[in-house]
Structure 1
Amino acid sequence: MEPSTGKKKTERNWGDKFLNIVEKTGNKLPHPATLFCIFAVAVLLLSAGLAALDVSAEHPDPDIDEKVKVVNLLSKEGIRDILTKAVDNFTGFAPLGVVLVAMLGVGVAERSGLISAFLKKIVMGAPDMLITAVVVFAGIMSSMASDAGYVVLVPLGAVIFLSKGRHPIAGLAAAFAGVSGGFSSNLIITMIDPMLGGFTQESAQMMDSAYTVTPAANLFFMMASTVLITVVGVLVTEKVVEPRLGSYTGSYKQDLDSLKPKENKSLKIALFALIAYVIVVALMTVPETAILRTDEGALLADHESPFIGAMIPLIALSFFIPGLAYGISVGDVKKDKTVVKYMEDTMSTMGGYIVLAFVAAQFVAYFEWSNIGFILAINGAEFLQAINLTGIPLILAFILVSGFINIFVGSASAKWAIMAPVFVPMLMNMGYSPEVAQLAYRIGDSTTNIISPLMPYFAIIVAFAQKYDKNIGIGTLISTMLPYSIAFMIAWMIMLSAWLLLGLPIGPEAPIYY
């Protein structure tokens, strides 16, 4: 029997009516795979039309004395690229490898019974409000492991809520919101900090050749944002999303029987296996000469560092090893064939996502080749310069423009590489530090990921949701996530305005004013 909620969304107020309209409209769109095909064809046609009109923009880097022009993808060279690079587009699509490798480990942990036993241990007896806070907070903290939260925590949030008798889509949404918000809120420095800081520093040195930006440039504000986003995420989940979804009446169930003595013992063995694994990883990362540090001894230098490159396999092993230990202890794993079967079964459920990934990868590649997104970002920057805003209103407008552009250009680093050379010097001229420009950009970038169908992981979130309701489409997910996006944007803008008015440092040795 196919899972389905079988329940019409409630309409308690005008907000619910608006979200229901968004959902119905979005769900009338074709299947996500078909939609990405349509997007890809649209980009091809648009590139040809805009190239014929000679649409272009001045490159934001003053050292590059040439215009950025729209590339016609229906030219002879463009058609060659479309046909000869289709396989490379697919195999090089970043979310594909991340998802499949991580799911190999997660699949062993799930099918051995470890995840179910773990959920029983932590969920039974815990209050709903605490469960919601834990899911959102865990999503936020997952940004320390780059994009892994989208693959691991989002489906886990659904399982946790379902095991408490709550709507699984609400749990999925809470985790998704936390993971997205986590890119601008965390209690520690994450992988994205040194990457963005590098672009910010290069742009700042266009005006001040001695200016340096550290990876901790936004740390104080990020730490405070962790509390803010957790609280806002809980409130939106409890007060808006869950009441609108109503009770879950689908066929998919999560068993919550009490743990048997053997399961309790096996859970402890799995914990010991995880601790041993963490010790091994620590030995490979903590010492200055550790294997997973760069030759210079840096751990989070950039995406070329061994630790960052190894993050997804490390996460997969963090599920695989305890899952294997649990399965052996509980008696379900007696042969290697069983473990292989667990991984095969997991991969068999990923067929729909692989199809989505193929067409999404082609669209993303076409959009990048065409330069349409690049020109859109440049024009967005020019728009802000043209409206002559100053001070906090300019920074708030910058957040809105960043959020809007993020709907069309998913990569945080790619957008900042385009926008930093424009906004960092502009805000420095107005007396604001490069660190503030970077922070404002991160807020806008984080708030609209969860409502953009073009975000690379959006397709797999839809696939996760369809496990509980086969009728869920893009419209359902957008309408569910829109309240988070709006609430995060408003809360962050208020917090940043207050932070700037009070003159608080946003990070160690990271002042507000230049």
Structure 2
Amino acid sequence: MSSTPAVSADPQTGFLGWIERVGNKLPDPVFLFFYLIGGLIAVSLIAAGLDWSALHPTATGEDGAPLVIAAESLLSAANIQRLWVEMPTTFTHFHPLGYVLVVMLGAGVAERTGLFSTAMRAAVRNASTTWLTPVVALVAMMGNLAADAAYVVLIPLAAVIYYAAGRHPIAGIAASFAGVSGGFSANLLPGQLDALLFGITEEAVEALVPTWDANIAGNWYFIAAMVFVAIPVIWYVTDKVIEPRLGGYVPEGDHADDPDADQEITADERKGLRWAGLATLAVVGVWAFLTLGPGTPLIDEAASPEARLSPFYRSLVAGFLVLFLAAGWAYGVAVGVVESHRDIVKMMSGAMEDLAYYLVLAFAAAHFVAMFAWSNLGLITAVHGANALEQMALPTPLLLMLIVVFTGVINLFVGSASAKWALLAPVLVPMLMLVGISPEMTTAAYRVGDGATNIITPLMVYFPLILIFCQRWQKEFGLGSLAALMVPYSFGLLIVGLALVGVWVAFEIPLGPGATVEYVLPSAPTAP
């Protein structure tokens, strides 16, 4: 086989170079929120001075007249007092914080026992050469349930497996990176990301409807469909575009990304996977019994038909905690890494340590979101924005597609999914609710744009790590080489994502259990 020279590009030139230069000048997301809070305070002063206001779309005053929402200065005595007195409450009542902490207690055990890693290895190592790419893409997207493990385990493993199959190892890296990061929201099951995003969505919705509760399965059907539209894109781009462009691979240097990456699945690990599967079925059985069995504790029999399953949806956060914990514990016992309950406690503690940065980010984001609500700027902007959208009379599919593209562009500069959604949700969610689009549909549109451009921005936190994986196989592979390699995936995923949004809205397909595309605001005032 002949070697094809690495694609060389100066990462400081061209459009991607401009993205890198501009993005590198942005502060850390934590301080980005603090700077935004400073700007928000200034805008609130101006808006209050100009008497900026809007009519509340659902609430009325004591006399029955429409309630006027007036902009409030964040430097008023009441808001200054609220900031300092309610700081602990503002932080601890930030919805995403509780959702993420609860799910990660279980996911941390599943990751630390090795369940996620072994499951990914078992899924891809025996795939045939013909089906290797779609299998890798599927496992990569499912691997997002394992958070960081999908990046650090599956991507280098894919390179080893492609090389062993006589294919270009960097094509394996590209396919798995496209699945893990480009298909960031695509999955057959809801997971940690759903808990995180819907926590932020709930915060945004409560500006209009304080009684609205998030359902972390609200995008389940949509993200499952994303899997099936993303796999053909990754398959075609890898096998027909990227691998022919890379040419034949000639070994150079040390290729062993991880001496154990392609090791056989041991008898203990196979036993662990079986035990984990049984534990998973047991947890599913328990939740089915609680929903359908005597007393139906997870069904509100007294509620209206559309609200009867609300307790079940709200229980899914705890459900994923129990599922990951039970499966991880069963696997750990089988392979010998869990000898007593003390090991489980240590693993859960380790998972919380991994969330240290997220806690700091959540503190800053919680105060930005809360202060945005105190100023009334988000709701006023949403009302006026909704009126403008109604006058423009854009078809709903086109409107949501524009949001997908907008999110994809913003993603080039602000990589964190939670940070971006915390910035956008307070305006986008209420604004689209006012024109009849559900919070779940807005969240789904955001997720499409957020994933598609992850793989072409050097600001994505794992981009340097992926570059290192490539350089272990091809030493002169550069930042521009990686960005250029992933551009076809990005455009392909964006195009099919836009088409999926259009089809979903046109046919009004449910986004998940109890989650519809359209939304009708309550006709009567609601109270917290």
Mapping of 1:208-287 within 5 angstroms? 227-232=228-233, 255-287=261-293
* One-letter amino acid matched to 1:323: G
Q: What do residues 184-224 of structure 1 show as CA deviations (whole Å, max 9, x unaligned)? A: x9xxxx998xx99xx9xx99xxxxxxxxxxxxx99999987
Task: Give me the CA root mean square deviation.
Answer: 5.3
The alignment's TM-score, normalised by the length of structure 2, stands at 0.64
Helix, strand or coil for the counterpart of 2:69? strand
Asked if the contact 2:404/2:498 (under 8 Å) is kept, the reply is no
**How far apart in 2 are the matches of 1:169 and 1:294?**
47
**Shift in Å, 1:480:** 11
Matching residue of 1:381: 386
**How far apart in 1 are the matches of 2:74 and 2:267?**
63
**Shift in Å, 1:358:** 1.0
Greater alpha carbon shift after TM alignment, 79-88 vs 326-335: 326-335
* One-letter amino acid matched to 2:378: G
Matching residue of 2:101: 100
**How far apart in 2 are the matches of 1:480 and 1:286?**
50
Consecutive unaligned residues of structure 1, counting only runs of 5 or more, are 1-7, 140-148, 204-216, 425-433, 454-460, 471-477
Matching residue of 1:83: 84
Q: What do residues 365-408 of structure 1 show as CA deviations (whole Å, max 9, x unaligned)? A: 11222222222222322333444x56x5x752464268759967
Identity fraction in percent: 28
Matched, 1:334 2:339: yes
Helix, strand or coil for the counterpart of 1:347? helix
Mapping of 1:399-438 within 5 angstroms? 399-400=401-402, 415-421=428-434, 423-424=435-436
Matched, 1:345 2:350: yes
**How far apart in 2 are the matches of 1:239 and 1:81?**
59
Q: 1:56 aligns with which of 53, 58, 63?
A: 53
**Shift in Å, 1:76:** 0.5
Matching residue of 1:144: none
Q: 2:32 aligns with which of 29, 32, 35?
A: 35
Matching residue of 2:134: 130
Residues 69/403 of structure 1: CA separation in 2 closer, same or farther (3 Å cut): farther
Consecutive unaligned residues of structure 2, counting only runs of 5 or more, are 1-5, 160-169, 210-217, 247-251, 411-419, 469-482, 519-528
**Shift in Å, 1:505:** 7.0
Asked if the contact 2:404/2:446 (under 8 Å) is kept, the reply is yes
**How far apart in 2 are the matches of 1:31 and 1:404?**
21
* One-letter amino acid matched to 1:48: L
Q: What do residues 269-302 of structure 1 show as CA deviations (whole Å, max 9, x unaligned)? A: 2222222222222212234842222234889838
- The count of corresponding residues between Structure 1 and Structure 2 is 437
Helix, strand or coil for the counterpart of 2:155? helix
Matching residue of 1:110: 111
**Shift in Å, 1:494:** 5.0
Helix, strand or coil for the counterpart of 2:66? coil
* One-letter amino acid matched to 1:129: T
Asked if the contact 1:399/1:440 (under 8 Å) is kept, the reply is no
The alignment's TM-score, normalised by the length of structure 1, stands at 0.66
Q: What do residues 238-291 of structure 1 show as CA deviations (whole Å, max 9, x unaligned)? A: 8999999xx999988973311222222232222222222222222122348422
Asked if the contact 1:158/1:170 (under 8 Å) is kept, the reply is no
**How far apart in 1 are the matches of 2:439 and 2:109?**
40
**Shift in Å, 1:71:** 1.7
Helix, strand or coil for the counterpart of 2:54? strand
Asked if the contact 2:379/2:430 (under 8 Å) is kept, the reply is no
Residues 47/241 of structure 1: CA separation in 2 closer, same or farther (3 Å cut): farther
Asked if the contact 1:9/1:20 (under 8 Å) is kept, the reply is no
**How far apart in 1 are the matches of 2:355 and 2:221?**
39
Matching residue of 1:320: 325
Matching residue of 1:164: 158
